[in-house]
Structure 1
Amino acid sequence: METTFIFVKPDGVQRGLVGEILNRFERKGLQVVGAKMLRVDEDLAGKHYAEHEGKPFYPGLIKFITSSPIMAFAIRGVDAVTVSRTLIGATNGRKADPGTIRGDFGLSGGFNMIHGSDSIESANRELALWFPEGTLEYDKSSNLWTYDPSDLD
């Protein structure tokens, strides 16, 4: 099992899409092991987007992510990073496949509603930033009906 980091960005929160977006992950069979709504301060935003510091779009990115609350999630499942990125879709909603979150709800490249870790390493770094208290450990009974036992080897 992998745990990945997802957050619904200010545009997704303001558009009232948090429940719909979370529903996509849960319907897929992924497990929510952490959730919190918060207003991101510049320090946390800077740490999260540190790899983009110095790029022309960085100031606007920080301004955007701190402009309104976000909803953060820790999501667990087999291949959770890859499965989540597939559910999210391409960065630009106009180019994202129908059936993906961005393909169904997005029309912008910048206002793209959701962030998802792009690797296990990124997920671990981001989870430590956003969930320093850790995530929940519990048995999800529907996993017995979600995964074939060979999926868990």
Structure 2
Amino acid sequence: MEKTLVIIKPDGVSRKLVGEIIQRFEKKQLKLSQLKVATMSQKVAEEHYAHIKKFDFFEDMITYMTSSEVVYLVLEGTSVIKTVRKMIGATNCLEAEPGTIRGDYGANSYENIIHASDSPEAAEVEIKRFFKEAN
């Protein structure tokens, strides 16, 4: 059974979209195996977003991701990574199709409601990063 990490970002939490987002995953018969609510530390945010450090918006992203609580989910299912990525839509909300989570609720390129692992390798690393107690 494949696993993926999903993070409902601060804008998704503050806009009270957590239940709606989880419901979409459940309607797709994806299993929610872990869930927690926490505020991301600066150190962990910098580690998680190290791949965008060269971009001008890196500091804004770190400030945004550490600004308030996020919801961490581990979802399981057949081809869960591909399924979830399709459900969340394009990273830039302005390019995301209506009917996707980002297309329906996103604001801009990084305040885009949600993060999801993009590969099995990334999922493994990210799940360990945010669910250390489960390893």
Q: TM-score normalised to the size of structure 1? A: 0.84
Between Structure 1 and Structure 2, whose CA radius of gyration is higher?
1
Letter in 2 for 1:123: A
1:99 paired with 2:131, answer no
Letter in 2 for 1:28: K
Q: What secondary structure is seen at the aligned counterpart in 1 of 2:20?
A: helix
C-alpha deviation, 1:111, in angstroms: 1.3
Q: What secondary structure is seen at the aligned counterpart in 2 of 1:94?
A: helix
The equivalent residue for 1:50 is 50
The equivalent residue for 2:116 is 116
Q: What secondary structure is seen at the aligned counterpart in 1 of 2:133?
A: coil
C-alpha deviation, 1:55, in angstroms: 2.8
Letter in 2 for 1:92: N
Q: How does 1:30-109 map to 2 (within 5 A)?
A: 30-109=30-109
Q: Distance in 2 between matches of 1:44 and 1:32?
A: 23
C-alpha deviation, 1:101, in angstroms: 0.6
How many residue pairs match? The answer is 135
Instruction: Report the identity percentage.
Output: 41
C-alpha deviation, 1:53, in angstroms: 2.3
Unmatched 5+ stretches in structure 1: 136-153
C-alpha deviation, 1:57, in angstroms: 1.6
The CA RMSD measured in Å over matched residues stands at 1.2
Q: How does 1:111-150 map to 2 (within 5 A)?
A: 111-134=111-134
Q: TM-score normalised to the size of structure 2? A: 0.95
1:13 paired with 2:13, answer yes
Please list the CA deviations of residues 100-131 of structure 1 after superposition, one character each: whole Å capped at 9, or x if unmatched.
11111124222100000011111001000001
Letter in 2 for 1:30: L
Q: Distance in 2 between matches of 1:108 and 1:45?
A: 19
Residues 1:15 and 1:33: Cα distance change in structure 2 (over 3 Å): same
Which aligned segments of 4 or more residues in structure 1 are displaced greater than 3 angstroms?
A: none
C-alpha deviation, 1:89, in angstroms: 0.5
The equivalent residue for 1:25 is 25
C-alpha deviation, 1:59, in angstroms: 0.9
